[in-house]
Structure 1
Amino acid sequence: MNETAASPIEAVGEQTLDIADAAAKQGIDGLRSLLEFQLLHTSNVTITVGSLLAAVLVMVGTLLVSALVQRALGRYGKRTPSVNQASLYTLNRVVHYLLLAAGLLLALEVLGMSVTKFAVLAGGLGVGLGFGLQAIFNNFVSGLILLFDKSLKVGDFVELEAGTRGMVKAINIRATLITTNDNIDILVPNSEFVSGRVVNWTHRSANRRIRVPFGVAYGTDKELVKKAALEAAARVPFTLAMEGPEGPQVWLDNFGDSAVEFILAVWLTEEAARRNAAIRAAYLWELDTSLKEHGIEIP
């Protein structure tokens, strides 16, 4: 009785399994057909949906590894204040570029493109796109030069040939990010730093000297002028020192048509070295106040 009753159930179960097995095989065959679908076919290269997905996964994995390495280096820099931050930044970028290059080569292999085939393809693209690719390659190489040459590093205050001034925030593959004192971000192609004239105000030392010209009426006591100018320098919080070789100096510069012209030369603190216009205005303000307090006429 039990065997006779179980037979229809077993038959239904076997039929269900057969249907599921057929559906699974059909799904697998459909997926295989999709993955083997050719997106590009030439005499040298055949790119399928599957190889393209695999290449994308390789690049995503490469980016994740690069992000983890950069995060680890960033944490190391924060835990070790004594480490040279500029060198750490250079190491960070170089490792990132090397990982990207390795990931790209592996992705090309997955796509079935050997380095030789890729070189031929890149050469053809280079001829087709002309100077556009040359400019990109030039900026990339210039970026590597900047990272290894150490003539420019993150945190430097620079002035470009075009007159742009600002702090270097990042040196990227194509361009360097500069932030001006007005908090404006400017992307400058890396090649401009290599081929153009660049003034690095903080390359060797963050401290620098500013020269503030001013004039007084003829007949004014020079020693009184010097005293008033030094008092003005002492009032400005950006003056580096009041004594020694880095103390402020007052120079007699010229005999003008209507005034005796002086220069107040002052060494600035690191903070002030990056704010040229605002600092000059601060010294002029205090010079005007101090000269008037001493009864010195300003023509």
Structure 2
Amino acid sequence: MAVIEQLQTWLSMPLLVLGDYTLRIAGVASAIGILVVSAIVQRGLSKASAAAAKRSGAHDQNVYIIQRVLKYIVYGVGLILALSALGVSFNNLMLVAGALGVGIGFGLQSIVNNFVCGIIILFEKSLRIGDFVELADGLLGEVREINIRSTLLRTLDNADIIVPNADFISSQVNNWTLNDDIRRFSISFSVAYGSDLEQVREAGLKAAEEVPITLKRENIMPDVLVTELGASGIECILTIWAQGEWVKRPGWVKSQYLTAIYNNLRTAEIEIPFPQMDVHMRS
């Protein structure tokens, strides 16, 4: 009994006194306990929702949205309960909310803006985990996480880039895999003037045949097009379609087709032109 009385005395000791408000050790311990329990509950709900979704066959993006919303709700409720355990009354919470409102007006608007944009991205489903996107500045990357303030992209160099959520709402974003994972690639190459264009076409289509990732369907077929009669040669493109993970590796895809095009042009003895310039000497 003496130990319990000593513990109660120790927990009731004040740590901070401000006017009518007294912060005690018991309140701090309770607040920490509530936050720890909130984290445990959040993890449990996340695992339970993932298991339930797996059994029902729900889409991964819907599962991700549910997990994120549950996380925000559990942590929000836990924070309110922790503040209550610290002795912060509802009136004081309103004062804090008013102070936060002033802070948002002066310096936190970007954080709130990113948070709201993150919620919009989650529910609008314009950006999903695993999507391959191209930003306005040309940055390419795969979406790995959509967090409260920012979205995590992993680039082709395996670098993690943190992009504010507001950038995806206010700027143009090219989502390569939004509705499907099929994309057309245009591989540019040149041939010399005087080349037989039918042979050029055959060499290009043969190159497409040799690369195993070439996708062929009724309305999706490889083709060779002449795009320009350039200064040094005839400019052509090989258009092919790829699907799946290959869409996320544009550099590798381009390298494979350029190699096949070069080998087939060389086999057909079709000349690849060098830059040319006519120089006239004046006496």
TM-score scaled by structure 2?
0.89
Q: Corresponding residue for 1:119?
A: 94
Letter in 2 for 1:34: W
Q: 1:198 aligned to 2:173?
A: yes
- Counterpart-to-counterpart distance in 1, 2:214 and 2:103: 58
- Counterpart-to-counterpart distance in 1, 2:63 and 2:110: 28
Q: 1:287 aligned to 2:261?
A: yes
- Counterpart-to-counterpart distance in 2, 1:109 and 1:192: 36
- Counterpart-to-counterpart distance in 1, 2:20 and 2:139: 49
How big is each residue's C-alpha offset from its partner over 1:88-147, in whole Å with a ceiling of 9 and x where there is no partner?
A: 111111111111111112222222223442231243356468755333222222211111
Q: Corresponding residue for 1:180?
A: 155
Q: Corresponding residue for 1:37?
A: 13
1:214 to 189, 194, 210: 189
Secondary structure of 1:124's match? helix
Secondary structure of 1:152's match? coil
How big is each residue's C-alpha offset from its partner over 1:218-258, in whole Å with a ceiling of 9 and x where there is no partner?
A: 111111111100010111122111x5311111111000011
2:139 to 132, 146, 164: 164
Q: Corresponding residue for 1:263?
A: 237
- Counterpart-to-counterpart distance in 1, 2:251 and 2:84: 55
- Counterpart-to-counterpart distance in 2, 1:75 and 1:272: 30
Q: Corresponding residue for 2:227?
A: 253
Q: 1:61 aligned to 2:43?
A: no
Distance 1:214 1:131, change over 3 A: farther
Q: Corresponding residue for 1:151?
A: 126
Query: Which consecutive residues of structure 1, in runs of 5 or more, have no partner in the other structure?
Result: 1-23
Letter in 2 for 1:148: F
Distance 1:89 1:284, change over 3 A: same
- Counterpart-to-counterpart distance in 2, 1:166 and 1:44: 54
Q: Corresponding residue for 2:77?
A: 102
2:27 to 51, 57, 60: 51
Q: Corresponding residue for 1:73?
A: 49
TM-score scaled by structure 1?
0.85
Letter in 1 for 2:234: V
Letter in 2 for 1:290: N
Kept in 1: contact 2:207–2:257 (CA 8 A): yes
RMSD (CA atoms): 2.0
> 1:291 Cα shift?
0.8
Distance 1:41 1:280, change over 3 A: same
- Counterpart-to-counterpart distance in 2, 1:143 and 1:209: 30
1:297 to 246, 271, 278: 271
Query: Which consecutive residues of structure 2, in runs of 5 or more, have no partner in the other structure?
Result: 274-283
The structure with more radius of gyration: 1
> 1:153 Cα shift?
0.6
> 1:284 Cα shift?
0.8
- Counterpart-to-counterpart distance in 2, 1:128 and 1:139: 16
Q: Corresponding residue for 2:277?
A: none
- Counterpart-to-counterpart distance in 1, 2:104 and 2:120: 24
- Counterpart-to-counterpart distance in 2, 1:263 and 1:137: 46
Secondary structure of 1:91's match? helix
Kept in 1: contact 2:104–2:112 (CA 8 A): no
Kept in 2: contact 1:105–1:115 (CA 8 A): no
Kept in 2: contact 1:44–1:117 (CA 8 A): no
How big is each residue's C-alpha offset from its partner over 1:14-40, in whole Å with a ceiling of 9 and x where there is no partner?
A: xxxxxxxxxx43x44432232122233
